[in-house]
Amino acid sequence: MKTLLNELRLIEHYLLSDAKDGESFLFEAKMILQPELKEQVYWQQKTYQAVRDYGRKQLKNEINNIHETLFNTEAHQSFRQKVMRLFRK
């Protein structure tokens, strides 16, 4: 179990660090020698991408809901008019 946590920590460091350091190059060499490690990195990348995509989708939905509330309800008509005046020219 402890080796799995260490491996996960190494994978996360590799995927989330911006700078390529000696550890990153060593890790890339390990991936060449251990195809199962390369596969784990692939699936971890896919997981991170799915989480990012989900977060973006949630944020987009929130923004759309706010837009609908501010621009399409009678209570916020004056706000809508003020915003529209800003963009008239």
pLDDT of amino acid 48:
95
Confidence of residue 1 (pLDDT cuts 50, 70, 90): low
CA 82 to chain centre: 34
What does the pLDDT average to over 50-61? 97
Asked whether the predicted pLDDT for residue 38 surpasses 90, the reply is: yes
pTM of full prediction above 0.75: no
User: In the chain, what percentage of residues exceed pLDDT 90?
Assistant: 48
Confidence of residue 89 (pLDDT cuts 50, 70, 90): low
